[in-house]
Homo-oligomer: A and B are copies of this chain.
Amino acid sequence: MSLRLADGLAGALPGSRLITDPDVLAGVGRDQAQWAPAGVALAALRARSGEEVSRAVAACAELGIPVVPRGAGTGLSGGANAVDGCLVLDLSKMDSIVEIDVENMLAVVQPGVVNNALKAAVAEHGLWYPPDPASAPWSTIGGNVSTNAGGLCCLKYGVTRDYVLGLEAVVGGPGGAYGTRLRLGRRTTKGVAGYDLTGLFVGSEGTLGVITEVTLRLRPARPEAPRTVVGAFGGLAGAGRAVAELTSCGLVPAALELLDRVCLEAVEDWRHLGIGASAEAMLLASVDTPGAAGDEEAEAVRAVFLRSGADWAELSGDPVEAEALFEARRLAYPALERLGPVITEDLCVPRSEVPEMLARIEEIGRRHGVRIATIAHAGDGNLHPLLLVPPGDDTARTAAEAAFEDLLTAAIGLRGTVTGEHGVGLLKRRGMQRELPLGVRAMQRAVKQALDPLDLFNPGKVTGDDPGL
């Protein structure tokens, strides 16, 4: 049956090269969510154009083959994982920057453009694309848009959603026959002509259609290198207090990151950046307000660190040193992955609850005997406790799974959310079901059914598999 379907698909797409090699399919059939299940794809296609995506979607609709779009596969929730018998639509080769409109500070890009590649290209024109997930060297704009990726500088500059003005997407259902290419949104800075379908597609994880082009708002380049403030704390509690205190003082650094001792040691062991891994917790703040006001702001941040119990706190204007510190932050996840399977949480709580959430993370780790490393976009209240499991240890894995659920419950109890920026995918579906009332999930499902009546686009993700519906 599936061979016949694959032949049918190949026949319907004469100019396209379908991948059917099982090893390759297994590789493109999952993202980096190590514990999320992945199905077996029927085939994969590395699309080269919106036109090719359109033909592939039309053929899949005709043949009843689900479509699972993917970018670089750096996702952490299983959102890009294959479902059985699907076509994996790999968009990473659609990596052209179509236009950089300097006068209007916007860029039009294909979905496969890598985040850092876009940053570099617009920087040549004195412009800046702020969203900076830690995966920025590898992850694609299409994936960033589909998960509404956050990053380090969202505290001051917002998330991906704040930069998406418009999209081209291949849709089906009310928008036209499956395979129809439609332009949503606009090129203007403002616009309210009808419902915000662009915003609805951002973060929808490929479940409403396939994004084939993105129009992004840009900012002027930062006038100067940011100042960095580092604080070393003897415990997570003090670092948590500093985060809450900064917010209540009205201090909004461009970034405010937290790394605990496990993270610091893992990075230091791997890369020897000389960041000093002896603190129990480190806070990194980046202040980019220009001129003397920025100096004052950085000094105020340092004072809050000290007042909240930092063992030491230093201010650095040296871009090399600052880059090493933030590099350590970006490397924390891969450094920990080297030690064994990692399961990543993506909790977000009100900022005032950061100290309490950090305490509960420690308590839950202790109670389940699970080693937890925590990195956090602390200023956003967005915490990534990383559960570390020795390879092949099933007991440890079971304990980690129990801890995972308790962490979700704790975040919901503090009026937080189970996913701040990674998306629901497969891993956070149960958590989302606990977080959101049934009526809200039913509204989400109704939107999905209205816009994708065949359930062709990335079925089972986000609103899928909800026993309440």
Contacts and interface: CB of A to CB of B under 8 A. Distances in A.
8 contacts: A103-B244, A171-B443, A175-B440, A188-B420, A190-B380, A194-B424, A195-B203, A196-B200
A278 interface: no
B348 A188 contact: yes
A280 interface: no
Interface in A57-106: 101-105
A154 B104 contact: no
Interface stretch (A11-19, A179-187, A227-235): A179-187
Contacts of A193: 417-419, 424, 428, 431-432, 435-436
Contact of A381 (B102, B154, B189, B415): B189
Contacts of A380: 188-190
Q: How many copies does the complex hold?
A: 2
A292 interface: yes
Given A162-B162, A193-B424, 15 more contacts: A104-B247, A104-B352, A159-B190, A173-B446, A174-B439, A176-B442, A182-B437, A188-B349, A192-B423, A193-B436, A195-B463, A196-B202, A197-B440, A447-B447, A450-B450
A193 B148 CA distance: 11
A196 B192 contact: no
Interface string A332-351: 00000000000000001111
B441 A194 contact: yes
Contacts of A460: none
Closest 3 CB pairs of A and B: A220-B250, A174-B446, A450-B450
Contacts of A191: 348, 417, 419-420
A194 B434 CA distance: 12
Nearest to A437: B182
A323 to B, nearest CB: 23
Interface string A241-259: 0001001101110000000
Interface in A129-152: 147-148, 150
Interface string A261-293: 000000000000000000000000000011111
A197 B446 CA distance: 11
Contact of A444 (B189, B194, B420): B194
Given A187-B415, A451-B446, A248 B103 contact: yes
A175 to B, nearest CB: 4
A424 to B, nearest CB: 6
Nearest to A177: B439
Interface of A: 101-105, 126-127, 147-148, 150, 154-155, 158-159, 161-162, 171, 173-176, 180, 182-184, 186-197, 199-200, 202-204, 219-221, 223, 244, 247-248, 250-252, 289-293, 348-352, 377, 380-382, 415-424, 428, 431-432, 435-437, 439-451, 462-463
A192 B148 contact: yes
A159 B186 CA distance: 15
A199 B195 CA distance: 9
A192 B419 contact: yes
A181 to B, nearest CB: 9
Contacts of A352: 101, 103-104
Contacts of A415: 187-188
A202 B220 CA distance: 28
Given A291-B292, A437-B183, A439-B182, A447 B450 contact: yes
A156 to B, nearest CB: 10
A428 B191 CA distance: 12
A204 B415 CA distance: 27
Contacts of A449: 450
A186 B443 CA distance: 16
Given A182-B440, A188-B416, A349-B188, A463 B102 contact: no
Given A174-B446, A446-B173, A203 B197 contact: no
B188 A432 contact: no
Contacts of A419: 191-193
